[in-house]
Structure 1
């Protein structure tokens, strides 16, 4: 579905530009955007490799296991339908840990694996379970302690103080995570109430 949406947006943009005689501007924007995208990606590689290395050291050193143990009581309350020792819980904890360090690229594969495991728990049905919806809400809000990717982008654009956003990012993502959980719980409560005779 996403591919269809992107295709429609691209075609609409090209048609609109052609009708208004602005194809030259579109071509210029395409090449400029492509060049900037490559520059940003190359700049991100270094910081992502560094933080993925730090995460690997943390994993081997048991820091992630300790963080997972600290988060386990919280995640057990957030995901009451998921058994403690189920692989889905491990993927959820890894996903949350990676998101906390601002490593969205590293968190994505773990989030996908968690969704796959949650789908197995849901009997393979296409309709999402409560846990799947909660994980999606948390992943979108994602509490971030260190926004490494954003810091890297700011460094690429010669920011005077790339890390100055850490405090505001922490406050903003804390608020978004709390709101995501509250909204998730509210709609779950409404659904349960609706189906309760």
Structure 2
């Protein structure tokens, strides 16, 4: 569906440019946009490689295990239906850790693996389980402490202070994550009453 939306914008832009007699302007904008996109992608790749490398060092040094131990009570509270030593717990903690560091691209594969593991213990295979809904709500709320990807984009665009986004990000993530947890817990109680 997203491809159709982008196609619509491109075709609409071309038609608008043709009707106004500015095809050259349209062509320049297309090539300038592609050039900017490639430049930003290369900047983000270097930034992501740096942080993923640091994340790998932290993992090898055992820091992620310590973070996982700190997150374990939170994960047990949020996901009470998952058996204690189930592999999904590890993937969920890795997903949450990567999201907290703003490494959304690195968090996605772990979130997918967590969903696959949760599906294995889901009694109703055609319906999302409570744990799956909770994980989706947490990922949608964008729990972020250090917005590394946004900082990278701001650095790539020569922002005067690329780190000034941290304070507002903390405030926004606190509000969105709290709202996601409250709504998720409310729906969990509602579904238990309906059973």
Same fold (TM over 0.5): yes
Secondary structure of 2:120's partner? helix
TM-fit CA distance, 1:10: 3.8
- How far 1:182 moved relative to its partner? 0.8
Alpha-carbon distance in 1 for matches of 2:31, 2:184? 41
Aligned match for 1:13, one of 3, 9, 21? 9
Q: Alpha-carbon deviations, 1:30-77, whole Å to 9, x = none?
A: 333222211111001111111111111111111100000110011001
What is the rounded CA distance, in whole Å, between the counterparts of 2:167 and 2:120 in structure 1? 38
2:14/2:26 contact within 8 Å kept: no
Q: Which residue of 2 aligns with 1:39?
A: 39
Q: Tell me, what secondary structure is at the counterpart of 2:158?
A: coil
CA distance in 2, matches of 1:18, 1:57: 48
> Offset at 1:7?
3.9
Q: Which residue of 1 aligns with 2:126?
A: 126
When structure 1 is superposed on structure 2, of 157-166 and 93-102 the one drifting more is: 157-166
Distance 1:18 1:157, change over 3 A: closer
Cα distance in 1 between the residues matched to 2:132 and 2:172: 23
Quote the offset at 1:28 in angstroms: 4.3
Write the distance in 2 (CA, Å) between the matches of 1:77 and 1:180.
Answer: 14
> Partner of 1:152 in structure 2?
152
Residues 50/17 of structure 1: CA separation in 2 closer, same or farther (3 Å cut): closer
Q: Tell me the SS of whatever aligns to 2:187.
A: helix
CA offsets per residue over residues 111-164 of structure 1, 9 Å max, x none? 010011011111471311111111011011132121111111111111111111
Q: Which runs of 5+ in 2 are unaligned?
A: none
Conservation of the 8 A alpha-carbon contact between 1:96 and 1:142: no
Q: Structure 1: how far apart are the matches of 2:113 and 2:53?
A: 21
Distance 2:36 2:58 in 1: 33
2:94 is aligned to: 94
Which segment is superposed worse, 34-43 or 107-116?
A: 34-43
CA distance in 2 between counterparts of 1:178 and 1:71 reads 16
TM score, norm. by length of structure 2: 0.89
Q: What are the ranges of 5 or more consecutive residues in structure 1 without an aligned counterpart?
A: none
Q: Equivalent residue of 2:80, what SS?
A: coil
How many angstroms apart in 2 are the aligned matches of 1:54 and 1:124?
Answer: 39
Q: Does 1:69 align with 2:69?
A: yes
Assess, with a 3 A threshold, how the Cα gap between structure 1 residues 107 and 16 changes in structure 2: closer, same or farther: same
